[in-house]
Structure 1
């Protein structure tokens, strides 16, 4: 259908194609067409295009974006499968990612920019405004199991109140699998309310602090997510809406150790990735990333196996 030039009939899809992100437009187009990722794979294969289900899911939910030549070819084939005008999705991707060290953004980011799929859940839960708690120190330990799948994430937060009578911490999670992970190992806090959206994989959970904090008072929160079997994991990141003092990310590989492990930064999920030099993985089979004074945006590690 090379002659297609008109935009789709669906009003929301037209709006997203003009003003939304690549991930939002792709997600909505798939829903409008009623196509599962398996069916999309099948249609792409008929056009001699091979894309994994995990990659399609990452693109759909904004965890990564297509950039290589073969990925852009897949996006053009997706436009055909979804009956979209040529170059509609490709034009939303912007320029390819530059290499080198990142220029860190200043100030703060609206949490809706970093967690777009979570906005309705936050509204339904009437969550407190972002910024009432500052995260001074964040320590995360990520365990990748023998099957190269995400097994667990253990988190320790040092928080400081920026308002009076702060009694809760709101945490976010995104998962592409229908089976939700288990939140456990709570210390210095207890469970509050939780909201989830199975279609997008978004989860928002309140953790009630042991004590109500006044301005300037500090506390510690610890928790762990245990994940069911899922796709092969090739990266992990944390999203910062406010500046912090220190971020420590440890990724432990219980099975194969990847050939390389590279730190990266982004302003938002749709922004170019800025790459730092690869990290050394020693006898502990753990990559250690320590970032002092992280700025708003996304910081993480990506890796590849031989």
Structure 2
């Protein structure tokens, strides 16, 4: 059954189909149908279309929009899944947006990986990513016994590529309504913090103990604390706009270890995941991934208890 009969009973959806944006129609239709993003993701995958749950969430909340060929295929399938009239979502996308100036070779514009954070970065007058090189990143992700994200401990080793570099900027995005908080800052000071709760976005300054000249390095450590959410965490990733010499990601499970855990990479938020082989989880209930000389993009782990 197509959605026409349902639309008769849903006056708000009928109105949105006349005047609403792509995000408004998608969000309302998902609520009306009672479909979770994970369920929609599985349905799309069953039809040979891979879209991350993060990308679906971005589309739903207007933080980004589908533009790639694979993403547009997903939109057409969504119209069927949500029992919407044909082209009701596609017609709201409009012409492709201009990408503007290209990032320097070997890098990705941070607006592509952090589309919900652009306004916050502007408010901070954030320095360009090109001021610092990421030599080493170590993140330890801890889940609680309810399989929810509890905290992330991060250690960064950074090298200045210009003179008078005195800070770095870190980004966070969270689907839960309560945004994370940075605590236990070491070898630096927490500066200004800007948030957009509706978009789930946080941008924070970390002020170095001393101003760096080109070639000098800084080490900073901090903990990102998360409030308990409603959903189990099934993946974690870090987004890189520039190459990193070494990235160590550890995920600790306070309860039972998952049945499987695999690494994955993405070139963009709406790009398909390229997964690797299954990782070993030992007596410590911790999985780890070490990546050296990684290019820009997304690197993470995903796991499953079933």
Q: Verify same fold: TM over 0.5.
A: yes
CA drift at 1:88: 2.5
Match of 2:173 in 1: 174
Q: Structure 1 78/130 Cα, relative in aligned 2: closer, same or farther at 3 Å?
A: farther
The structure 1 segments of at least 4 consecutive aligned residues displaced by more than 3 Å after TM superposition are: 7-11, 28-31, 52-58, 70-75
Q: Structure 1 71/284 Cα, relative in aligned 2: closer, same or farther at 3 Å?
A: farther
CA drift at 1:61: 2.4
Local SS of the residue matching 1:280: coil
CA distance, structure 2, for counterparts of residue 144 and residue 288 of structure 1: 14
Q: In the alignment, is residue 60 of structure 1 matched against residue 46 of structure 2?
A: no
Q: In the alignment, is residue 281 of structure 1 matched against residue 285 of structure 2?
A: no
Corresponding pairs, count = 261
CA distance, structure 1, for counterparts of residue 188 and residue 173 of structure 2: 22
Match of 1:44 in 2: 33
Match of 2:272 in 1: 272
Local SS of the residue matching 2:90: coil
Spell out, residue by residue over 1:27-53, the C-alpha distance to the aligned partner (whole angstroms, 9 max, x if none).
x5457xxx4xxx834x214xxxx4368
CA distance, structure 2, for counterparts of residue 55 and residue 155 of structure 1: 32
CA distance, structure 2, for counterparts of residue 208 and residue 84 of structure 1: 52
What's the RMSD between the two structures over aligned residues?
3.3
Task: Map 1:33-112 to 2 at 5 A.
Answer: 35=28, 40-41=30-31, 43-45=32-34, 50-51=35-36, 58=54, 59-61=56-58, 76-78=80-82, 80=84, 85=87, 88=90, 107-112=106-111
Unaligned runs of 5+ in 2: 5-15, 42-52, 95-104
CA drift at 1:223: 0.3
CA distance, structure 1, for counterparts of residue 301 and residue 80 of structure 2: 29
Task: Map 1:213-232 to 2 at 5 A.
Answer: 213-230=212-229, 231-232=231-232
